[in-house]
Amino acid sequence: MERHYELMVILSPKLGEDEAAAQNESILNQIKETGGEIIKIDPWGKRMLAYPIDKTTEAHYFVNYLNMNPAAVKGIKQQLNINEHVIRHMFVAKEK
């Protein structure tokens, strides 16, 4: 049974706009490999962080809307945790 999710990814400001978009696309490809479906990608661009994270004050924001199996979320979270370009990420389960 698939669920609707919203995935926010905050990427390193050291990446250029194209590199950040490619990094987000790589994350989405990992989701597709687990059987997930991408509904919408909402790039917010480079923005200031609410508070510094490891002396970083700005980052690239992406909000991705997707459908995927809840069992696959744990694996995707593990991949995001070890990705050096991902500063923060958050999965939110959405109601239909």
Q: At what angle do helices 17-33 and 70-82 cross, to 10 degrees?
A: 140
β-bridge mates for residue 66, sequence order: 5, 38
The dihedral formed by the CA atoms of 83, 15, 10 and 51, expressed in degrees to the nearest 10: 120
**Residue ranges of domains in the chain, CATH in brackets:** 3-94 (3.30.70.60)
- Whether the model clears a pTM of 0.95, i.e. scores above it, the answer is no
pLDDT over 90 at 1, yes or no: no
Give the pair of three-digit tokens for residue 44: 């917010």
Q: How confident is the model at residue 96 (pLDDT cuts 50, 70, 90)?
A: low
Mind listing the pLDDT tens digit for each residue in 12-63? 999 999 999 999 999 999 999 999 999 999 999 999 999 999 899 999 999 9
The 10s digit of each residue's pLDDT in 58-70 is 999 999 999 999 9
pLDDT at position 64 is 97
Residue 34 Cα to chain centre, angstroms:
15
Can you say whether residue 45 is alpha, beta or left, with left for phi > 0 and alpha for psi between -120 and 50 degrees?
left
